Amino acid sequence: MTLPTDANQTAGGLPRRLCYFNAGFLRQKRLRRILQLAGHELVPLRATGADGVLVWGRSPYAIRGEAVAEARGLPILRVEDAFLRSIHPGRSGAPPIGLMLDATGVHFDAASPSRLEGILARDPLSDSDLLRRARDGIGRIRALHLSKYNAHDPDLAPPPAGYVLVIDQTRGDAAIHHGGATAASFAEMLLAAKLDHPTARILIKTHPETQAGHRPGHFGAADCDARVSLYADPVSPQALLEGAIAVYTVTSQLGFEAILAGHRPHVFGQPFYAGWGLTHDRQPLPRRGRKLTPAQVFAGAIILAPIWYDPCRDRLCSFEAALDQLEAETRAFREDRRGHVASGMRLWKRAPLQAFFGREARLRFVDPVPKAALRAERMRRPLLIWAGKEPPDFAPPVPVRRVEDGFLRSRGLGADLVPPLSLVTDDLGIYYDPSRESRLERLIRAPLSVAAARRVEVLLEKLLAARLSKYNLAAATPDLPDAQGRRIVLVPGQVEDDASIRLGCGEIRSNLALLQAARAANPDAMILYKPHPDVEAGLRPGAVAAAEMIGLADFIAPHSDPITLIGFADEVWTMTSLLGFEALLRGKPVTCLGAPFYAGWGLTTDLGPVPERRRRAPDGHPLPHVTLHQLAHAALIAYPRYHDPVSGLPCPAEVAIDRLASGQIPPARLANRLLAKAQGLLASQSWLWRR
């Protein structure tokens, strides 16, 4: 068969103009989009002018395209899902995040070599950067409990360890027949597991599509006995693999994941991962004889062979960017899968909250909080509470997550009813309340992997280059005075009834007292005071009278860009302002007179009531200082959840930074804008809507 000329090929040498005869390509918008981004023009039901024929793997419908290709002498491009796909199976309507394109064969068809097999057989797979990426990827996938499908229940405990894991597949799966196996292979596999492990428990893992009722598997109740049982609970495959003493499979992708988890699985078919020295092969494939490491197979199968898609930025991307996106979507699913009852949420916030937390099941808004807790108990749902609305000594009958704005919030103030791009949820406390441990504190203490440290380093470079802060207001660059050699101390004002001051400050809990303390400790410094935007707008308390400023502040910078002020200053003095965290990210010394989330870790000078648990272990021994990367990773990546206002999807921090930096954010709803204007006109009566 003659391949098309270069003019009719993509950059990868594949046919550019593809005809197809499968309605699935017509129905699946994302599938078509990924192929278009890869350089292919799709032409349905017409071979005239086409350079090739597009078919889905070895599906029953592929025969239509194969017949046209044979008749017209056109090459075939076969497409299949990548090995990390989505939350739910494709038969449930979930779109893929990556594809395998192959003009040679299909990765699961052992009758002839595929593109993936060619990579594994001939690519050097020795590049140190590639193998580092592979090891990092394996570590992240295992730590995040990711698999091809990811509708796992993180609250389910895996079965007691010590079992043999036998992996079922769906009947009629093309990977079985084309992987050199039959239905009889499953019976043979179960018998071998019994004989090899005569006293062990045997768990038969049901396929997710069988669990969802789409297709039957090969095993049923008749295969169970005193030692053998079916296992259909939606437990993470990674957790199941960790508890297994041996793994048996025919051609399932879970066999590949078993290799990554340190197993040497018994394989009864001829899947892509067999024959490379990592499996016990019951049907050896003579043409595969190369010995590979798990990282090398991962590099070929996950990094080199697929094309990956970023659905938020609508572009092809690296494996790592796709993994970031899948992590964000998976976290949202796992936290929201049962739905929530929400309480203490202002009316204007309900639409943004629905977008964040209502993808799996719509939020039910109920007030007051005690009534909401009873409703949540009846509905068997967790409870979401806006953090400041939780009653004292509240003892909920259901799990609770407290919600607050994230640290990269928006372009505009919450007080102006601008919806957030990020929210934090906390099942232990809340970040601004040092009286009890928060989930953020635990994340800050967590050691960072090399991959996580590298990710946050790149993220901080983007954040600093884009000069981003919490609200990213259009602010003037002040005409700053000449310090004449004096040290410059920046003092950010705060909203004085803010919960972080009420709960996280000692004696000093007003802007005036903060200025007085800063001046007393720095008598010769130039003190630069920045009022809080909400206070400047007249929406919140915290104004300092001009007469009281005399002798305290040398320069007042109203409506000024905070990033410019941080760059101008030599250090920052604050109670609990987030500007202190933003200053730390920019390498400035910070003195805290309260106990913000970033104090007490060895990164700040602490003059406030910092909890002892941040400094010492329960046995009294000093705790090691955390790094700035640990703090930034916890606060900007691990703790918040982000929502992309363009695609409407959960997204990673990197997407939020791109949106904030580019200003590519849809405007607030008209009703919000009108209400915000009304609030501005009635600023002196703000207590009416802030109760």
Structure tokens at 49: 């002018």
**pLDDT at res. 681:** 47
Cα distances (Å, whole numbers) of residue 47 to 9, 20, 24, 60, 103? 16, 8, 17, 20, 17
- Residue carrying the six token digits 């419908």: 61
Q: Looking at the predicted structure, is the pLDDT value of residue 4 above 50?
A: no
Q: Mean pLDDT over all residues of the chain?
A: 92
Give me the residue spans of the domains in the chain: 6-112, 121-305, 445-674
Angle at 260 between CA 254 and CA 266, to 5 degrees: 55
Which candidate, 203, 210, 202, places its Cα nearest to that of 169? Answer: 210
8 A C-beta contact, residue 620 and residue 612: no
Q: Mean pLDDT throughout 207-215?
A: 85
Residue 672 has pLDDT above 50, yes or no: no
pLDDT value of position 475: 67
- How much is the pLDDT for 415? 55
- Count the neighbouring beta carbons within 10 Å of the beta carbon of residue 690: 12
C-alpha to C-alpha distance for 635 and 615, rounded to whole angstroms:
19
pLDDT tens-digit series, residues 173-204: 999 999 999 999 999 999 999 999 999 999 99
User: Is the pLDDT reported for residue 527 higher than 50?
Assistant: yes
- When comparing pLDDT for 534 and 126, which is higher? 126
Which parts of 599-686 fold into alpha helices (H)?
628-633, 653-662, 670-681
Question: Residue 478: which pLDDT band, with cuts at 50, 70 and 90?
Answer: confident
Q: Are residues 336 and 360 in contact, defined by beta-carbon separation less than 8 angstroms?
A: yes
pLDDT tens column, 82-106: 999 999 988 888 999 999 999 999 9
Per-residue pLDDT at 5: 37
Q: Identify the pLDDT of residue 675.
A: 45
Q: pTM for this structure?
A: 0.92
Give the pairing of strands 400-405 and 383-386. parallel
Secondary structure (H, E, C), 652-673: CHHHHHHHHHHCCCCCCCHHHH
| CB-facing half-sphere around the CA of 190: CA atoms within 13 A | 22
Q: Give the pLDDT confidence score for residue 689 in this predicted structure.
A: 44
Spatial CA neighbour of 542 closest among 596, 504, 570, 501 = 501
pLDDT category of residue 11 using cuts at 50, 70 and 90: low
For CA atoms 319, 321, 324, 328, give the dihedral sign: negative
pLDDT at 473 over 50: yes
Identify the architecture of domain 121-305 in CATH: 3-Layer(aba) Sandwich (3.40)
Q: Is the confidence at residue 682, as pLDDT, over 70?
A: no
Q: What SS3 class is residue 489?
A: strand
Instruction: Write out the two tokens for 609.
Output: 């009531």
Which of residues 147 and 481 earns the better pLDDT score? Answer: 147
Percentage of the chain lying above the pLDDT 70 cut = 93
In this predicted structure, the answer to whether residue 688 has a pLDDT above a threshold of 50 is no
* DSSP for residue 438: -
Task: Determine the average pLDDT of the residues in 598-627.
Answer: 95
Question: What's the pLDDT score for residue 669?
Answer: 54
Q: Residue 646: pLDDT band by 50, 70, 90 thresholds?
A: very high
pLDDT value at position 125? 98
Confidence of residue 465 (pLDDT cuts 50, 70, 90): very high
pLDDT at 622 over 90: yes
Judging by DSSP bridges, how do beta strands 76-81 and 98-102 pair with one another?
A: antiparallel
Residue scoring higher pLDDT (670 or 209): 209
Please state, as a whole number, how many other Cβ atoms lie within 10 Å of the Cβ of residue 353.
22
Q: What is the 3-state secondary structure (H, E, C) of 139-180?
A: HHHHHHCCCCECCCCCCCCCCCCCEEEEECCECCCHHHHCCC
Q: What tens digit of pLDDT does each residue of 232-256 get?
A: 999 999 999 999 999 999 999 999 9
Q: Residue 690 above 70 pLDDT?
A: no
Indicate the range of 124-133, 396-405, 465-474 predicted with least confidence.
465-474
Q: Check pLDDT > 50 for residue 505.
A: yes
Range in 38-47, 264-273, 435-444 with the lowest mean pLDDT = 38-47
In sequence order, what are the residues at sequence separation of 6 or more whose Cβ sits closer than 8 angstroms to the Cβ of residue 185? 176, 250, 268, 269
Contact 500, 432 (CB under 8 A): yes
Q: Check for a shared fold between 6-112 and 121-305.
A: yes
Looking up tokens 């109203």, which residue turns up? Answer: 558
Task: Pick left, alpha or beta for residue 685 (phi over 0 → left; psi -120 to 50 → alpha; otherwise beta).
Answer: alpha
Q: Which of 305-309, 451-455, 530-534, 639-643 has the lowest mean pLDDT?
A: 530-534
Residue 665 reports pLDDT greater than 80: no
Q: State the DSSP code for 299.
A: I
Provide the pLDDT for residue 92.
85
Count of all residues that appear for the chain in the document: 691
Model confidence at 264, in pLDDT bands (50, 70, 90)? very high
What integer is the mean pLDDT of 393-400?
93
pLDDT at 300 over 90: yes
Listed residue (397, 573, 564, 428) closest to 493, CA to CA: 573
Q: Is 79's pLDDT higher than 70?
A: yes
- Is residue 677 scored above 70 in pLDDT? no
Q: Quote the CA–CA distance of 286 and 284 in Å, as a whole number.
A: 6
Q: How far apart are the first and last CA of the chain?
A: 75
| pLDDT (0 to 100) of residue 141 | 97
Burial label, 48 (beta-carbon count in 10 A; 0-12, 13-18, 19+): exposed
Inform me whether the pLDDT recorded for 23 exceeds 60: yes
Q: Hey, which CATH number is domain 6-112, 3.30.70, 2.120.10, 3.30.1330, 3.40.50?
A: 3.40.50
